[in-house]
Structure 1
Amino acid sequence: MPKLVFITGASSGLGQALAKRFHQAGYRLALVGRRTQEIKSWCDRLGISASSYQIYSADVADINSIVAAGRACLAAQGVPDVVVANAGISIGMDTAERSDLDVMAQILATNNIGLAATFHPFIDAMVQRGSGRLVGMASVSGIRGLPGHGAYCASKAGVISYCESLRGELRASGVKVVTLSPGYIDTPLTRQNRYAMPFLMSADAFAERAYRTIEAGASYRVIPWQMGVVAKLLRLLPNAWFDRLLAGRPRKHRRSGR
């Protein structure tokens, strides 16, 4: 039986690029998203055989919804070899605006609680089998806080710490936890950005490097590596220098469009 990968956020962007790469490697696909018809249309365009994939409708911000999708996958396709918690959202915020607190709650519900809820249905089965990969999608934005981007940066810092904790918990089980921190990837999410995006790479190029990282069972990887160097240098900067460097930087679009 071919291996199985479970991917959230499979209706666009990185989710589809990752699904394409795993399909090319011979994996069966369990594809999760809210826009299921878009996933079906994408599979049809690529000529992916209906026997090699299943689509599950779920909203990762709703714990019961994503847990139900995971359980449906277990019942229909078996225990995945790889689970990629890829679904995420990125919206700017201004803490002085009351409505943006709701935005922050939505981001944390999707990017953090949703990630843990994505892993939840599979952990016991993977531990019992003694193998598996749980892949958390973080970001270089989780390494230092960017002005106007507080909710997203906080959520991705949370992903990094959560996955590190989970990795320690599962260390002796045979189940690997892989944290991926993308830099700037050309997706519908990043095309809205109004600031420079150094080392921008295509989604397919990211998926290739991510696939190799996941297969190797690496614990943590920044992709592309150049952004890893930049992130480390930024981490070393004294706060005063860091603040001065980012002064006047355009902020992420807020939900209001400003």
Structure 2
Amino acid sequence: MAETITGRRLAWITGASSGIGRAVALKLADRGWQVAVSARSGAKLEALAAERPGLIHAYLLDITEGESVRDAALNIEQSLGPIDLALFSAGGYVRESARRFDAEKLAELFNLNVVGTGHALQAVMAPMIARRRGHIAVVASVAGYIGLPGGGVYGATKSALITLCEALRPQLEREGVVLQVINPGFVDTPMTKTNDFPMPFLIKEDEAADAIIKGLESRRFEIVFPWKMKVAMKLLAALPYPLSLAVTRRMLRKEDAIDSKR
């Protein structure tokens, strides 16, 4: 049975200073939730907390620092109570090419997107398992379905998160904890504003936040939106390699054409 995301419970959202995390924090606060928000930008967190005084609480945090993440989770629970919902949306983005491939950037992004999320998962899973209740949602991406030109490094981190969540879902389910993976398409956020290529089916932050909250209420494993992007990416990923690579080669030619006009 679907659970309505309302009431005076506690959510913890990482990556909440902007984008999807910020939009969801505001919507949960408007539904009566207490919301602990974390990110690396203290000023942005304080500005967000000021928008919903008494409901949103700022906790400065870099998720790549494991001990700090565990301390933050403990501090939140000691100050505000048990975390009912943990939404992990902190992460970064890079584009790469074969000519500009940089293994250090690969390592940095995996450390942020995957290991950093792992620190956050570790911080909440044990307490939730001990209480035999809790709800975790991890923001990955439809980019994790298949490798696309320019998106190999970013997509690899998101594919890793999807795989991790697939493995943890049945184990946590047995412990009374719900785990979901969130796979957005293109959302109009500060991160995507750096893109200089066409972004099909682009949606606003508020639309993404509404889709996430609806998905959280359903408790189904995957929350994916918008539906047109979902269909396109799942179909592409389902194709045999000769066909899918033919499609991605065409994407590469389009990208080369854009580069030549810069």
Matching residue's letter, 2:170: G
Matching residue's letter, 2:112: T
Given that 2:45 and 2:60 are in contact with CA atoms closer than 8 Å, whether structure 1 keeps it comes out as: no
Residues 250, 164 of structure 1: alpha-carbon distance in 2 compared, 3 angstrom cutoff: same
Given that 1:9 and 1:15 are in contact with CA atoms closer than 8 Å, whether structure 2 keeps it comes out as: yes
Pick from 6, 12, 23: which aligns with 1:6? 12
- Structure 2 gaps, min length 5: 1-6, 257-261
Q: Post-superposition shift, 1:237?
A: 2.1
Residues 249, 118 of structure 1: alpha-carbon distance in 2 compared, 3 angstrom cutoff: farther
Give secondary structure in 2 for the equivalent of 1:185.
Answer: coil
Given that 1:134 and 1:176 are in contact with CA atoms closer than 8 Å, whether structure 2 keeps it comes out as: yes
Aligned length: 248
Correspondence for 1:21: 27
Q: Deviations over 1:38-64 (max 9, x none)?
A: 1111332x3x11x22321111112222
Give secondary structure in 1 for the equivalent of 2:255.
Answer: coil
CA distance in 2, matches of 1:129, 1:23: 24
Pick from 65, 87, 90: which aligns with 2:90? 87
What aligned pairs does 1:7-156 form with structure 2 within 5 A after superposition? 7-44=13-50, 46=51, 48-49=52-53, 51-94=54-97, 97=100, 100-156=102-158
Q: Deviations over 1:3-61 (max 9, x none)?
A: 011000111111110101111111101000110111111332x3x11x22321111112
Q: Post-superposition shift, 1:128?
A: 2.2
CA distance in 1, matches of 2:215, 2:167: 19
Q: Deviations over 1:198-230 (max 9, x none)?
A: 111111111011011112212112111221111
Give secondary structure in 1 for the equivalent of 2:164.
Answer: helix
Residues 104, 216 of structure 1: alpha-carbon distance in 2 compared, 3 angstrom cutoff: same
Runs of 4 or more, structure 1, over 6 Å off, are none
Matching residue's letter, 1:163: C
Matching residue's letter, 2:29: H
CA distance in 2, matches of 1:242, 1:197: 19
Given that 1:143 and 1:235 are in contact with CA atoms closer than 8 Å, whether structure 2 keeps it comes out as: yes
Which deviates the most, 1-10 or 203-212? 1-10
TM-score by length of 2: 0.89
Given that 1:93 and 1:104 are in contact with CA atoms closer than 8 Å, whether structure 2 keeps it comes out as: no
Correspondence for 2:220: 218
Q: Post-superposition shift, 1:97?
A: 4.8
CA distance in 2, matches of 1:103, 1:136: 22
CA distance in 1, matches of 2:67, 2:132: 26
Matching residue's letter, 1:238: P
Q: Post-superposition shift, 1:129?
A: 1.9
CA distance in 2, matches of 1:187, 1:135: 19
- Structure 1 gaps, min length 5: 252-257
Give secondary structure in 2 for the equivalent of 1:165.
Answer: helix
What aligned pairs does 1:164-243 form with structure 2 within 5 A after superposition? 164-243=166-245
Which deviates the most, 171-180 or 236-245? 236-245
TM-score by length of 1: 0.90
Q: Deviations over 1:121-176 (max 9, x none)?
A: 22122122221111010100000001122111100001101011111211212110
